[in-house]
Each structure stands twice: as structure tokens, then as C-alpha cells.
Structure 1
Amino acid sequence: MVAAVPRTTDVDASNNSGSDETTTILFFGDSITAGYGLDMDQAFPAVIREIADSLGYKIEPVNSGVSGETSAGGLRRIDWVLQRPFDIFVLELGGNDGLRGIDPGHTMENLQQIMDKVRAERPDAQIVLTGMEAPPNMGDSYTSAFRNIFNELAENNDVVFMPFILEDVAGEPDYNQEDGIHPTAEGHRIIANNLWDVLEPLLR
């Protein structure tokens, strides 16, 4: 995804629940998580907070998305990110690897190391892995190998898995900005609703 100024921003949680317990969700990703081209409150982590509030869940989303981030870049910064506590870790990386044609084996190794570090530092945290698709112009062999790394990682690590973060958004002009890569605000709402279906069972 197109590079921009990195940003890691905490989003204050609303308290619409009678419970004193707040679930901190750390969203670790690239420009999709960061909400490239949009205001931070339009990015899907903030929209998920809105959904949670409306249903009485008390959460604190932390947006740790960096535009242009690859899996290797995520591995380099994960130790710093892990300094703060969290309950759920949402991993959304790999899209830029696919755009650059990086060897899927390298991407898989980097994502595995990120999850290993999360488990070592926060053993009680739940991990949600989101998959990504490589662009079709990379060829059938590459796109198939790229897709399979996420399936294998999910199976090997017993994590909660969302196969495609851009489900119902990718390839839809109405839900993407002019570059055809980054979702619009409406696209982020679709992502948030799809991801909420994965997250809500973890909050019950």
C-alpha cells in the first residue's frame, strides 16, 4: 500500500457497559489498519469501537497501523509495540509483501515470528490473524502460494482467523479510493462489520 507518515494512535474507548472491565484490542498492521487517506476515526479500528459501544461492550482499540509496512517492517517494530498491555492482538500484515512480490516463504516466517513474540510477551492474549490476497497480475502460482501462507499460519498456530481482510471491499470501486487499493470510509465500515463477527465471540 502507498507509503505515508507512520502513525500509531490510541483511540479512547467509550463506556456504554456496566462492567468495569475494558478489553484492549491492539490492531497491528499496514495502511489498511492505519486508514490511509482518511481521518483516524474513519479507519476500521475506530468503527469497531462504535459497533462495540452500540452493543454495550467496553473496549479500548489501539491503532498501530503504519502505511507502507511490510511483514519484515512489522517484525522490526513489534518489540516496541509489545511494551503496552492488551487482551486481543489483531495481525493485519502481508499486503505490501504481495504487492512487491516478496517470497511468500519470507512473509510467512516474519508473521510467524511476530506471533511467537506476541505469545511470549503476552501469553494470555488472543491472536486474530487476517489474511490478504496478492494482486492477480502476480500470476496464479504466486497468488496461490501467497494465499496459502495465511491458511497454514492459522492452522499451525491455533489462532482466530479471518481469511481475507478486504472481503466485500476489494475490487469494488464504490468502496475504494482512486488508487484502487485503499478502502474509502464506507469500505472501512464493511471491514469493521466483517471483523466484528470474528471479534465479538472473544468479548463474551
Structure 2
Amino acid sequence: MKGRVLERRHFNALLAASLALGSSPAVWAQAKKEAVVLIVGDSLSAEYGLRRGSGWAALLQERLTKEKVPARVVNASVSGDTTSGGRSRLPALLKQHQPAVVVIELGGNDALRGLPLNMTRDNLSAMARAAREAGAKVLLVGMEMPPNYGAKYAQEFRDVFSGVAKAEKTGLVPFFLKGVADGPEPLKLFQSDRIHPNESAHPLMLATVWPELRKLLPR
């Protein structure tokens, strides 16, 4: 009985807080029903060099709203992040946001820094397991290396993502920059550094992620 009283008090406190912030009970209840899509990525997801709100993660929220999918995006991406950084940050993010879906978009900076592929593989696997154990579905977003890295390394790097996805039973987007980096005129879709996609590329990036992400979202 005491537990029920405490639970009721907790509910009333949350309700009072929402009303104090100007939200109606209906709005508060709707927010509680929304599934959280947590994005843990690097500069490709953190709107590096872009207008705020123009990156693919922000466009994803717009699409969810437009299609009336009861989900909201929490973009926890950090420019320059590696799989090691994502792995260390993930437990707190899972606890705080209790996501229904975790999108892992990391690994590119590992390769740029010359980190061992086994380290990248282990970190991605650990993140996928942690998210799954927290009750979330996982979408792994893969990257590819430019030809100057060599065909053998490029294939091994590509295999990291497909291997982790298969072993951990996650969703997979094989190449995040499909249609951007391998398009007919790729330079038009990149910022002046030739590394980060520009604003016009981000709708294409969302289009690449969306089919696999939609499978994991509530209907």
C-alpha cells in the first residue's frame, strides 16, 4: 500500500511539473508514449559546419513528425568522436534517455586515426550489446574508406560493420554516404574540407538511413 501511495505521489509530481511548464496533461501523456531514437555519432551526425537544424538527424525528426511516427530524436553525436568515445558515453545515455532505438554512427574517425580494426570491432560490438541489454533495437551505420587507403584495408574496414551487424543481430546501413561520396559529382556535396557533407547532402543521407531505421520504429 505504501508503495502505491509513493507511486501516486511521483505521478502527481510529474504531472504538476508539466503543468507548471505550460504543458497540458494530454501533451505530457503523449510525450511519455514517444519512443526515443538515440543517435550516437560523430561529425557526420553532429551538424559540423552546417546551419543548426539542417543535418540529417534534424531532418529525421521532421520526417517522424510528418509521418506521425510516435518517436523523437535525441542526437548525442560529438564531432571527432571514435568508437572508444561512444562506448564510454553510451551507458549514461542509455540510462538517461531509455531509448527504443539506438543508431550507432561511428568508426570513420577510428580509420582516419589509424586505430586497430579489432578495437573498432570490439567497441561497436560492446555498444550494440549494451543497447540491446537496455531494451533498445540497434541500427549500425557503416562507412567506407577512400580508394587511397588500399583495396585490402577498405574491404576489411567494410567487413567490420557487416560482421558486427551479423554477430549482434542489428540493423545495418552498409554505407552512410551512399549517393554522396560515390555520386557522379561528389565534390558538389561536400564542404570545402572535402571530408564533411554539405547541407544539400544531408537529405540524401537521411534517405539512405530511413528504410532500415523505419523497420525498427513503432508502427
State the TM-score, normalizing by the size of structure 2. 0.79
Partner Cα separation in structure 2 for residue 176 and residue 87 of structure 1: 32
For the aligned residue pairs, the C-alpha RMSD in angstroms reads 1.8
Partner Cα separation in structure 2 for residue 166 and residue 91 of structure 1: 15
**Match in the other structure for 1:186:** 200
Partner Cα separation in structure 1 for residue 120 and residue 181 of structure 2: 21
Contact 1:169 1:190 in 2 (8 A): yes
For structure 1, the residue ranges without an aligned partner over 5 or more in a row are 1-14
Moved over 4 A (4+): none
Contact 1:101 1:138 in 2 (8 A): no
**Match in the other structure for 1:115:** 128
Structure 1 residue 89: Cα displacement: 0.3
User: How is 1:1-204 mapped onto 2 (pairs within 5 angstroms)?
Assistant: 21-84=33-96, 85-120=98-133, 123-171=134-182, 172-203=186-217, 204=219
Structure 1 residue 39: Cα displacement: 2.6
Structure 1 residue 20: Cα displacement: 7.6
Contact 1:170 1:181 in 2 (8 A): no
Contact 1:98 1:135 in 2 (8 A): no
Partner Cα separation in structure 1 for residue 192 and residue 64 of structure 2: 30
Contact 2:46 2:78 in 1 (8 A): yes
**Match in the other structure for 1:12:** none
Contact 1:33 1:44 in 2 (8 A): yes
Identical-pair percentage: 34
State the TM-score, normalizing by the size of structure 1. 0.85
The total of aligned residue pairs comes to 186
Partner deviation per Cα, 1:93-124 (whole Å, 9 max, x = no partner): 0001111222211110111111222223xx42
Partner Cα separation in structure 1 for residue 146 and residue 110 of structure 2: 11
Partner Cα separation in structure 1 for residue 111 and residue 41 of structure 2: 14
Structure 1 residue 173: Cα displacement: 1.4
